[in-house]
Amino acid sequence: MCGIVGIIDQKPVAKNIVSALKCLEYRGYDSAGIATLDKGHLECIRATGKLINLEKKLKKYSLPGTIGIGHTRWATHGEPSEQNAHPHTTEKVAVVHNGIIENFKELREMLNKKGYTTTTQTDTEVIAKLLTLYLDNNLSMKEALETTLKSLQGAFALAIISPMDLDKIYFARKGSPLVIGIGENSNYIASDAIALASYTHQVIYPEEGDWGYITQKNYQIFNKDNKVTKHPIHTLNLSTQTASKGAYRHFMEKEIFEQSTVLNETLSSYLTPEKNELSLPKFIFDKNKLNRLTIIACGTSYYAACIAKYWIEKYAKIPVEVDIASEFRYRQPALGSAENHACLFISQSGETIDTLEALRYVKAKGLPTISIVNVTHSSISRETDSMWPTFAGPEIGVASTKAFSCQLMTLACFTLGLAKTKINQKEFSDLLESLKSISMWLEKMPNLRQECLTAARTLAKATDVLYLGRGTNFPMALEGALKLKEISYIHAEAYAAGEMKHGPIALIDALTPIVALAPNDNLIEKTISNLQEASARGGKIISLGDAESLKKLETISIHTIEIPTVPTFIQPFILTLPMQLLAYETALLKGTDVDQPRNLAKSVTVE
């Protein structure tokens, strides 16, 4: 969730560390800091709030040094404050840390008894004190880190510098992502490869339990058994333009309107060169024997999975369970056999710790595993048996937009792959043609922006909003409510429209707008009936639908947002755009931080 950067170069590194940290701002943070080594001494500057506050300090206090580490912190242990910000330092080490040290209280008590008192509320400080303890006992820096790692329980990615070892940045990873960048006369450490796009495209991904160090011209990696290990160098296709808003006000706005392009790219990756047939990764299970599929995900990815459940059960006739990753392994689920039960994991970053731990639980049981990820060298992609990429490109806005729609596209292709022998050729061809038409339809909503803005003026005045839908429109309503909560801070809830009469109808009053997802489908008459019940009780309804359904809803709607008439299969793709824009325009009216909403992080790497 936090951002780590480490640089060894021939020239001072502080400014480049700040620039690299800016590429990680999208992950969410509440404080930042940098430490460098200069002439055998540690220098450190920290600040609360945004990186601009750290930059102001750097203008006042020079931070020389050709070796340095930097950090953006998202608070877990201890409030956001300068004292709790990273790096944590002693006279002998500076440490930055992503993750959570679960046994930090026991370690803190032991350290205090030995005279190494702690002064912050963080779990990270014990790492710096432990290293110092072992250095004081005449261990080398390498030996001190090796010994410290044996004491740590939990998840961590670490970068460490020390005046006891002037030419190295040490690192370690367990449960949190970390990448090594290989440059010319310079080397790098980061929690995300995008931070290194301006400096190098040659990267190495340390495995779980790896640790080691980088120097200006070399590196050394040890595995969890402390044996020297080697990993391949990957070439990344990233550019500094990735982190540019271009002509847009916000990354979120840019990424909303990139969806037509990235959906095309994602679908094209799963088509033959002639684009008239699917060309999918090989299924790692026998489709004819599979009688149970479990999809595991968090947040927006979970709602994409809920939509896929409707598709897979309808077309492939395979029972699907959808699980929230943070709950899955703790309820000790009853799993089938490797012959008839597969598990699919969805994660934008491929580093979501809850999803990653659920994956490891399933792998230990011997079931086949598939992942849908946007980062092809991520931990989840490397640890599953089969990986299906989404090709959304880096997503900078914290609230997911294009990654969600590309997850849907990959799930749709996955569904058709499962269904190919279970539906007739005409139906299969029609479904495939409908996927190929999505980008065209997304560009045929000329009044969409204005309609969303008009409706947003109503939502911006509300303290509570309800979203309703049936069929796949129900998980789409859940996703729409999440977007509104995330970026406008308005409380929003979503319900299956038919469930309103079973309790939630008590929430309806003249002050609570209702966003109704109501395109024309086989459930439209029932949806209209549910909305009429809400309208009769004073509900103010904002309807999203096509021309035919909106005509039926015009007498009970205060605002309407029109989408094209499209096949039911692709309605979720078409509804995604107005729902995201509705949340975006509402947030603009509220004056919130659209790209970096309060308290949120892009990549959730702690449980």
- In the set 2, 306, 406, 413, the catalytic residue is 2
Query: Distance between CA atoms of 470 and 463, rounded to whole angstroms?
Result: 24
Of 170-184, 226-240, 360-374, which gets the smallest average pLDDT? 226-240
Q: Which helix (H) or strand (E) holds 412?
A: helix 402-419
Q: Which of 440, 507, 452 is CA-nearest to residue 264? A: 440
Predicted structure pTM score: 0.81
Confidence band of 400 (pLDDT split at 50, 70, 90) = very high
Q: Is 113 exposed, middle or buried (0-12, 13-18, 19+ CB in 10 A)?
A: exposed
Q: pLDDT tens for residues 453-468?
A: 999 999 999 999 999 9
Share of the chain above pLDDT 70, in %: 97
In this prediction, residue 412 carries a pLDDT of 98
The position carrying tokens 């309807």 is: 543
Distance CA(37)–CA(315), nearest Å, equals 61
Q: How far is CA 471 from CA 116, 497, 498, 549, 576, in A?
A: 59, 9, 10, 15, 15
131, 144 Cβ separation under 8 angstroms: yes
Query: Distance from first CA to last CA of the chain, Å, rounded?
Result: 11
Which position among 92, 174, 483, 602 bears the catalytic label?
A: 602
Question: Residues 287, 415, 284, CA angle at the centre, nearest 5°?
Answer: 35
Preceding amide of 177 cis, omega within 30: no
Cβ-based neighbours of 2, under 8 Å, separated by 6 or more: 27, 29, 71, 72, 73, 74, 86, 96, 97, 98, 191, 601
Say which DSSP state 278 is in: B
Return the ∠ at Cα 570 (arms to 439 and 438), rounded to 5°: 10
Q: Radius of gyration (Cα) for the chain, nearest Å?
A: 26
pLDDT at 409 > cutoff 90: yes
CA distances from 1 to 80, 157, 178, 281 (A): 14, 11, 12, 31
Distance CA 259, CA 395 (A): 11
Are 259 and 401 contacting, i.e. CB atoms less than 8 angstroms apart? Answer: yes
- Joined tokens for residue 522: 């086989």
Let me know: does 203 contact 233? Beta carbons within 8 Å.
yes
The answer to whether the CB of 98 falls within 8 A of the CB of 159 is no
Q: How confident is the model at residue 361 (pLDDT cuts 50, 70, 90)?
A: very high
- Where does 248-346 have alpha helices with state H? 251-257, 259-269, 299-311, 325-328
Is pLDDT of 568 > 60?
yes
Average pLDDT of span 539-568: 95
Q: Cβ of 143: how many Cβ atoms within 10 Å? A: 13
Domains in the chain, CATH or no CATH each: 3-242 (3.60.20.10), 245-443 (3.40.50.10490), 446-592 (3.40.50.10490)
Q: Is 602 a catalytic residue?
A: yes
pLDDT at 353: 87
For residue 246, pLDDT beyond 80: no
More confident residue, 233 or 245: 233
Q: Three-state SS for 242?
A: helix
The pLDDT score that the predictor gives to residue 607 is 59
Distance of CA 94 to the CA centre of its chain: 28
What is the rounded CA–CA span in Å between residue 64 and residue 332? Answer: 52
296's enclosing H/E stretch is: strand 292-297
Q: What is the mean pLDDT of residues 490-505?
A: 90
What is the rounded average pLDDT of the residues 519-547? 91
pLDDT, averaged across the chain: 91
pLDDT at residue 389 greater than cutoff 70: yes
Listed in sequence order, the residues at least 6 apart from 42 whose beta carbon sits closer than 8 Å to its beta carbon are 35, 36, 89, 91, 93, 94, 161, 162, 163
Q: Estimate to the nearest angstrom the gap between the alpha carbon of 293 and the chain centroid.
A: 23
Closest CA to 569 of 278, 294, 308, 206: 308
Q: Is 224 a catalytic residue?
A: no
pLDDT greater than 60 at residue 1: no
**Residue 176: pLDDT above 90?**
no
Residue 59's pLDDT is 87
* pLDDT tens readout for residues 366-388: 999 999 999 888 889 999 999 99
* Lowest-pLDDT choice from 229-233, 318-322, 452-456: 229-233
The CA distances from residue 185 to 16, 17, 166, 238, 448, in Å, are: 15, 16, 16, 21, 51
Residue 241 has pLDDT above 70, yes or no: no
b/e burial code for range 485-522 (CB count within 10 A of at least 16 → b)? bbbbbbebbbbbbeebeeebbebbeeebbbbbbbbbbe
> What is the Cα–Cα distance from 70 to 18, expressed in whole angstroms?
7
C-alpha to C-alpha distance for 468 and 496, rounded to whole angstroms:
6
**How would you label 56-84 residue by residue, b for 16+ Cβ within 10 Å and e otherwise?**
ebbeeeebebbbbbbbbbbbbebeebeeb
* pLDDT of 606 strictly over 60: no
